[in-house]
Amino acid sequence: MEDVAIIGIGQTKIGEQWERSLRNLAVDAIQAALKDAAVDHAEALYVGNTLAGEFTAQQHLGALLADWASLGSIEALRVEAASASGAAAIHMGHMAVASGQLSLVVVCGVEKMTDTDPAIERGALASAMDAEYEAMQGLSLTASSALLMRRYMYEYKVCHEDFAPFAINAHKNALGNPYAQFHKAITLEDFKRAPVVADPITMLDSAPVADGAAALVLCSGELARRSCSKAVYIRASVVATDRLALHSRRDPLFLQAAYVSAHKAYLQAGIGPSDIDLFELHDASTLLAALSLEACGFAPRGKGIRLGQEGQIDLQGSIPISTMGGLKARGDPLGATGVYQVAELIQHLRGEAGANQVRNARIGMAQNIGGNGATAITHILEAPY
Amino acid sequence: MEDVAIIGIGQTKIGEQWERSLRNLAVDAIQAALKDAAVDHAEALYVGNTLAGEFTAQQHLGALLADWASLGSIEALRVEAASASGAAAIHMGHMAVASGQLSLVVVCGVEKMTDTDPAIERGALASAMDAEYEAMQGLSLTASSALLMRRYMYEYKVCHEDFAPFAINAHKNALGNPYAQFHKAITLEDFKRAPVVADPITMLDSAPVADGAAALVLCSGELARRSCSKAVYIRASVVATDRLALHSRRDPLFLQAAYVSAHKAYLQAGIGPSDIDLFELHDASTLLAALSLEACGFAPRGKGIRLGQEGQIDLQGSIPISTMGGLKARGDPLGATGVYQVAELIQHLRGEAGANQVRNARIGMAQNIGGNGATAITHILEAPY
């Protein structure tokens, strides 16, 4: 197996981008990544996208974006794993280069969510769950997260405001990220006063919809060592799954896929949780942040929220998370999110994260989660310097 | 790069399967393939599917099918490239094993098309084209094929009935395939009398919608040589693309992606068109059969239809096509089609194609096409005996 490096990153501003269509956003990100890598071509393009068919009646994004990014007749495919589609595309790019078949590929995550009817949007988001056993009963994705959060609060005897540090940290860190959807610090009072979406989940627990695109240029380690001084290396890329419907899981508060994916990644990289300098986790809700920290070995069951209360998730803490705003405040353009997470790790590993820089960052982990946790994809990256 | 073998195949009957949902069809095919391979587990599942989000409000098929096929917490992802999604999933499985990362994976193509409203179906199929520049003008996928067919007839001075041999051959071969959608031979008279869908395309030019699923078990060559006497080897797996919108192509009658994909595959396998013993091409329309034969080097431009008229596409001809019925008569469950094509090649290469057996078949080629040709994926398989 060849080793794989990332030599270019590109991100667009996240938010309501009514003047840019899906293809424009994606091409902006791809061109920025190619420029950052100082290359003008690629052998393949892997696109992470969740719902372009539902939102903009456009499938076949591989061919569309290879065409609009002027990449020629190259291999181009789309990968989907609900909200983990971005990391799925990175995983595919990693496989292509690791196989020795290709040596220079582009990965792009893109989602255009704000140009659609809210009813279509809710239905489309529910397609990440079991359509026949969950969505068909009227359960929405946020409502099912709310059931889980209520159960967590009951099981571990915690209250809603115990989750506040995750949202406050995310919003604070987004202030230093020019691509973030929100540039607005929030207080504990704001968190307590936020309108309810699905009790107990409020507007400040959950990531909103957004448009955005991010891209990466991957190449063989050999090529990177020859031609790129700022390459960052992929030390692990692991996909794992769990039962899709919540009612099928033995313990819905344990993210089995996140656990398996992270621990296989630790094995692949030959490290443990204590070696991770920063962790971009999938805080689609504050609850998911807590569950991810627990599944990945940073806290015992039921104690994930403590890391927030103790300030360990801050930029100077023992395990900084949502360092550029996370899903909550950087934004969550579904299929693009996993690519943003890895692009942000690279900003830190290169020492280019500006005011948000995690000091001496050498090893970063990102975890992208599909739906309620049925898919989890973990990447571990390392800077060689 | 490791070499990759296919050691198991599974197919469901194609047609209107109202009593089986998408997950049932897929699990039937996966279990049949595992049984055929005599294994009871896999390290990953790659799903080819085009429109489950639009047709059945179900995304996240990787996790869903790994769950329902009882495969455990394994890596599971869905790949999409419009109607070439099935071959895209095979390509991904090939990469995973070729990279040396995994040694035993399942690929499943599945589509459930008949449980939806015909208007939704037409709109969803159009998402394979350029949504903003083609579909938004009211152009359907079949209508755009009709424009191409009219142009072909004008450019090469041929008439509609010159395309008849493709449909007649497909329907004849489907008689020997128990999984085929149609078991009904047709005559030249039937072809001439068929109702028009989009002039000049008739019911007997184009493949209808259908439900179906097919699956393959892939493993490393090393594992296959140790444990499987009927393994068939993947000698080439190549994805290529073209401009998405027809109006962007310099010559819409030349399938650039099919040309690039086939010729790179020949290079990878170290062979040429004359070495191919049978060719499962993407006859979504009789026109596409002619264009594919031309792009892949079996006939000069404008002469693809001659291979039909001269009987060279028959089971005993120089280049047998649609040997188990092709898209036209075996059926075309979009994301499953590319997997059916490869499963059928394997039937021949194992000598298990029954009445349809192509004699002394040793090297087979399959080409799966997305939309109007913007994606083409070519696989070349070889039997070692």
Q: CATH number for the A125-194+234-382 domain, one of 3.20.20.240, 3.40.47.10, 3.40.50.300, 3.40.50.1000?
A: 3.40.47.10
pLDDT for the residue A121: 81
Beta carbons of A132 and B80 less than 8 Å apart: no
- In chain A, residues with a C-beta closer than 8 Å to the C-beta of B239 are 44, 75-77
Using CB atoms, pick whichever of B54, B62, B248 lies closest to residue A53: B54
Residue A171 pLDDT > 80 = yes
Is the CB of residue B88 less than 8 Å from the CB of residue B341?
no
Beta carbons of B95 and A100 less than 8 Å apart: no
Burial-class residue B157 by CB neighbours within 10 Å (0-12, 13-18, 19+). Answer: exposed
- In chain B, residues with a C-beta closer than 8 Å to the C-beta of A239 are 44, 75-77
Compute the average pLDDT of residues A375-385.
Answer: 94
pLDDT for the residue B120: 82
pLDDT for the residue B24: 98
Which residue of chain B comes nearest to A255, CA vs CA?
A: B73
Same fold for the pair A4-117+210-232 and A125-194+234-382? yes
Beta carbons of B75 and A238 less than 8 Å apart: yes
CA dihedral A34, A37, A39, A40 (to 10 degrees): 10
Residue A366 pLDDT > 80 = yes
Compute the average pLDDT of residues B39-43.
Answer: 97
3-state SS track over chain B: CCCEEEEEEEECCCECCCCCCHHHHHHHHHHHHHHHHCCCCCCEEEEECCCHHHHHCCCCHHHHHHHHCCCCCCEEEEEEECECHHHHHHHHHHHHHHCCCCCEEEEEEEECCCCCCHHHHHHHHHCCCCCCCCHHHCCCHHHHHHHHHHHHHHHHCCCHHHHHHHHHHHHHHHCCCCCCCCCCCCCHHHHHHCCEEECCEECCCECCCCEEEEEEEEEEHHHHHHHCCCCEEEEEEEEEECCCCHHHCCCCCCCHHHHHHHHHHHHHHCCCHHHCCEEECCCCEHHHHHHHHHHCCCCCCCCHHHHHHCCCCCCCCCCCECCCCHHHHHCCCHHHHHHHHHHHHHHHHCCCCHHHCCCCCCEEEEEEEECCCCEEEEEEEECCC
Percent of chain B's residues with pLDDT above 70: 100
Q: Find residue B215's DSSP bridge partners.
A: B10, B108
Compute the average pLDDT of residues B120-141.
Answer: 91
B295 and chain A: CB distance < 8 Å anywhere? no
Looking at domain B4-117+210-232, what is its CATH homologous superfamily? Thiolase/Chalcone synthase (3.40.47.10)
B363 and chain A: CB distance < 8 Å anywhere? no
pLDDT band at B121 (very low <50, low <70, confident <90, very high): confident
pLDDT for the residue B2: 86
Using CB atoms, pick whichever of A67, A75, A256 lies closest to residue B240: A75
Cα A125 from Cα A140, distance rounded (Å): 8
Residue A169 pLDDT > 70 = yes
Whose structure tokens read 């550029």?
A324
Pairing, β B363-370 against β B104-111: unpaired
pLDDT band at A8 (very low <50, low <70, confident <90, very high): very high
Residue A385 pLDDT > 70 = no
Cα A39 from Cα A217, distance rounded (Å): 9
Is the CB of residue A187 less than 8 Å from the CB of residue A204?
no
Q: Which of B291, B275, B274 is nearest to B283 (CA)?
A: B291
Q: CB neighbours of A27 closer than 8 A, spacing ≥ 6? A: A65, A68, A69
Beta carbons of B80 and A76 less than 8 Å apart: no
Cα B306 from Cα B287, distance rounded (Å): 12
Residue A384 pLDDT > 90 = no
Predicted model pTM: 0.98
A374 and chain B: CB distance < 8 Å anywhere? yes
Residue B266 pLDDT > 80 = yes
pLDDT band at B116 (very low <50, low <70, confident <90, very high): confident
* Residues 108 through 127 of chain A touching chain B, CB cutoff 8 Å: 123-124, 126-127
Compute the average pLDDT of residues B88-117.
Answer: 95
Cα B343 from Cα B109, distance rounded (Å): 11
Higher pLDDT, B235 or B228: B235
pLDDT digit string (tens) for A69-102?
A: 999 999 999 999 999 999 999 999 999 999 999 9
Structure tokens at B207: 């493949």
Compute the average pLDDT of residues B208-212.
Answer: 95
Structure tokens at A385: 């310097």
Alpha-carbon B114 to chain mean position: 19
Compute the average pLDDT of residues B131-142.
Answer: 93
A251 and chain B: CB distance < 8 Å anywhere? no
Cα B282 from Cα B87, distance rounded (Å): 11
- In chain B, residues with a C-beta closer than 8 Å to the C-beta of A50 are 59
Is the CB of residue A205 less than 8 Å from the CB of residue A181?
no
Q: Which of B207, B195, B193, B184 is nearest to B161 (CA)?
A: B193
Mean pLDDT of chain A: 96
Cα A123 from Cα A103, distance rounded (Å): 39
Residue count (chain B):
385
Is the CB of residue A15 less than 8 Å from the CB of residue A78?
no
Residue A147 pLDDT > 80 = yes
pLDDT band at B117 (very low <50, low <70, confident <90, very high): confident
pLDDT digit string (tens) for A26-55?
A: 999 999 999 999 999 999 999 999 999 999
Higher pLDDT, B111 or A120: B111
pLDDT band at B140 (very low <50, low <70, confident <90, very high): very high
Beta carbons of B73 and A132 less than 8 Å apart: no
pLDDT band at B385 (very low <50, low <70, confident <90, very high): low
Beta carbons of A132 and B23 less than 8 Å apart: yes
Beta carbons of B244 and A64 less than 8 Å apart: yes
Encode A173-188: b = buried (16+ Cβ within 10 Å), e = exposed.
Answer: bbebbebbbbeeebee
Beta carbons of A242 and B77 less than 8 Å apart: no
A92 and chain B: CB distance < 8 Å anywhere? yes
B353 and chain A: CB distance < 8 Å anywhere? no
CATH top-level class of B140-207+236-382 = alpha beta
CA dihedral A85, A87, A90, A95 (to 10 degrees): -90
Residue A52 C-alpha, separation from nearest chain B C-alpha, in angstroms: 9
pLDDT band at B331 (very low <50, low <70, confident <90, very high): very high
pLDDT digit string (tens) for B13-23?
A: 999 999 999 99
Is the CB of residue B66 less than 8 Å from the CB of residue B45?
yes
- In chain A, residues with a C-beta closer than 8 Å to the C-beta of B248 are 67
With residues binned 3-state (H G I as helix, E B as strand, rest as coil), the percentages for chain A, rounded to 5, are 40, 20, 40
Q: Which of B51, B90, B53, B76 is nearest to B237 (CA)?
A: B90
Pairs of CB atoms within 8 A across A/B? 209
CA dihedral A340, A344, A346, A347 (to 10 degrees): 140
Interface test with B, best of A4, A20, A43, A60 (most B CBs within 10 A): A60
Structure tokens at B31: 């279990």
Residue A1 pLDDT > 90 = no
pLDDT band at B304 (very low <50, low <70, confident <90, very high): very high
Structure tokens at B347: 């039937």
Cα A156 from Cα A304, distance rounded (Å): 11
Compute the average pLDDT of residues B122-141.
Answer: 92
Q: Which of A154-158, A365-369, B25-29, B122-126 is least confident?
A: B122-126
pLDDT for the residue A119: 79
Burial-class residue B122 by CB neighbours within 10 Å (0-12, 13-18, 19+). Answer: middle
Classify A322 in phi/psi space as left (phi over 0), alpha (psi -120 to 50) or beta: left
pLDDT band at A334 (very low <50, low <70, confident <90, very high): very high
The residue ranges of every structural domain in chain A are 4-117+210-232, 125-194+234-382
Q: What is the CA radius of gyration of chain A?
A: 19
A198 and chain B: CB distance < 8 Å anywhere? no
Interface test with A, best of B73, B107, B144, B248 (most A CBs within 10 A): B73
Whose structure tokens read 């083609």?
B134
A88 and chain B: CB distance < 8 Å anywhere? yes
Using CB atoms, pick whichever of B21, B44, B62 lies closest to residue A81: B62
Is the CB of residue A12 less than 8 Å from the CB of residue A212?
yes
A21 and chain B: CB distance < 8 Å anywhere? yes
Is the CB of residue B182 less than 8 Å from the CB of residue B331?
yes
Beta carbons of B260 and A123 less than 8 Å apart: no
* Residues 38 through 77 of chain A touching chain B, CB cutoff 8 Å: 44, 50-51, 53-54, 56-64, 66-67, 73-77
Cα A233 from Cα A382, distance rounded (Å): 5
Give this complex's ipTM: 0.97
Cα B307 from Cα B314, distance rounded (Å): 9
Which residue of chain B comes nearest to A96, CA vs CA?
A: B95
pLDDT band at A117 (very low <50, low <70, confident <90, very high): confident
Cα B33 from Cα B40, distance rounded (Å): 10
Whose structure tokens read 């539902």?
A54
pLDDT for the residue B184: 97
pLDDT for the residue B178: 98
